[in-house]
Structure 1
């Protein structure tokens, strides 16, 4: 039996396999509202064969968007725009749907990647980013505004409000974005957090705000629904956030009921030196799982079925999440199941797609034409 296609339980959510479509920014929203592009993108990858699809990093405030085109969930219009997309997925797919809630912090107000990705000044259509400290991401950028205590409360409440909207939409799970140099990661890393109050300095202080946000979201989500978190396990910069600190954070999150750790890395500094290669972040997930026992999701240049199978079968991680691989092959889960002897679900109009030697790919189904 394939390990990749074995079931897993995340709190009250039962998944038939260990594959997740990773949250991928599309930079195609209007005023935070999902568009027809999101309808196409989400519905397509909901048929990938993955047990769970995670909606892209979704801003909990307008000023928390990375770019003007980023998805949001901070008001009724944002919520309403996602509703028909979710309804369509539910009609045609059995995949679980999660959403990644995010705040970009000092990396907000940026151009879309294909437009250069640089900071947009307020007088050119951007806005004033906020962060733990008035320290810019790049030396030549204008500094962000340091969040005061009322600002921290506002951001925390915005995460809670977005989580409640996600629950009204009937989503199955929430992932808190605490990675890639965005706001909550900025609090964790001494590179970006130079505060001198109770939210800066020591490891306990730097973890304080991300843990407060997690606790608030966990309290807002029904107890049977899972809440996970995405972390950058290391900044890949000397003196920055690292694996040992991530393990300590995971232990704190475990006490607060975290359901998974989605293990990525980097993003907080342009000085990072990342050793890219197939599965380069898997050892980070393996170490966190070994030290804490928390369910981990491995990400990063996982593209081959046998590669994913080995990660799960060897116990290096409990699940895998694919991003670029899914864009390149929107039926990645089907092809992995065919290669590994697993089964996936598909809508009846697609049952005839199974190769002759893989008639059981979609389970015990028959497709006859009279």
Structure 2
């Protein structure tokens, strides 16, 4: 096990920059998710750590050792791929022990390592089967087992659950996280699925076109997104974002989002009047108001998921979604009066996209 230090790492193909000066410090035994949309650079960064891509500039250390110029086989890492990458003609046991065999590990040690790992992963009954005789989840367990038997310093996961169906993906993400906690091995996990990242990772690194937007614990990114990109990306359904400007009304600081609608803010925000802002509200932070309210959603569609209802519509000129617990009896063409606590409102600078209390030092 080891810490991983990524220091001002850059990657470019000719004049095209793919990674722009990434700086990440990963603690020994930590589970870190690299998250981002397609083309964000997350897989490229993982492949540079693995030694499958060259580094244009910067340094990568594993366990205090500079690995920039080390071949992949000498980096003491193990990688689990999206497509399993199993040898179809080898049994489960042979697939798991292949890398140890190549190393020249004694047969009794290989057998012991396979047995222990198969027990951890629930693969003992399947050791003599071929990959084609396994389910998708079992194949992914074999791929993880092959990585585990090597006892590497670092596990690298490249979207390992993408090929699984939704139900199996939920089960496997729980198993992967539980396994990582049990082994205590430093792990770097690439995914485009923010739910996977939120539920599995100790910390998230959110990338956008090679630039790191924010690093932090999952709930830090959810509760205090540093900019509009993070606010849009983290959360499902996504945060409601409404453009407006700061106004003073009856001694209160508010956001005027148009159509005569204002949203009251906390009073300790030193934001000047007429400042152009984006007001962000999580769908679950709206409350149904009793009586009349200037803040209403005109309902256009309702999605009943069983445990909750997703109500889609418009607040003035802004598209909006709110999440209500249980099964709501709401007319599809009706209007719902809303309220929201000032403490649940996020403010972003309309021009820069930065969170206002970060920009202004509150």
- The TM-score range, normalised by the shorter chain, is 0.3 to 0.5
The structure whose Rg is larger is 2
Tell me the TM-score normalized by structure 2.
0.35
Higher strand share: 2
Tell me the TM-score normalized by structure 1.
0.34
Higher helix share: 1
